[in-house]
Amino acid sequence: MRLPLILLLSLCCAGAVHGRDYPATPSGYLAMIDANGDGRISEAEYVDYLSAGFRRMDRNGDNLLDAGELPPGPRHTPRSLAAFQADLGAQFHRLDRNGDGSLSAKELAQPPR
């Protein structure tokens, strides 16, 4: 099973998954994100779930990750929640291979285009 890098990084940042808690199957990941339990992930569920890590990192709650809130590394450009969520929305649409507006476990597990 291979999940898109942005999804893996966001899941780790979201704090919902710890080393031994990773689901063993794509359907396990789907169940973690599927807030309404309908067996599919909507764009809103995808963006909301993956935005949790951003919100935890945003210590002052201004919807902007500044250099002091970003992890160490080469990228220290401030990042807004709106820009982060726009990227997640674009990622969602690349994953939604059949264009039905929701992600199945199979689509969630496929690498983005």
pLDDT at 59: 94
Examine residue 70 and state whether it is found in any structural domain, yes or no.
yes
- How many domains does the chain divide into? 1
Could you tell me the pTM of the whole model? Answer: 0.76
The answer to whether 105 and 26 have CB atoms below 8 angstroms apart is: yes
The residues near 102 (Cβ < 8 Å, ≥ 6 apart) are 40, 41, 42, 43, 96
pLDDT at 74: 77
What is the span of the domain harbouring residue 83? 26-109
Examine residue 50 and state whether it is found in any structural domain, yes or no.
yes
**Strand spans (E) along 1-113:** 41-42, 64-65, 79-80, 102-103
pLDDT band at residue 103 using 50, 70 and 90 as cut-offs: very high
The residues near 3 (Cβ < 8 Å, ≥ 6 apart) are 11, 26, 29, 108, 109
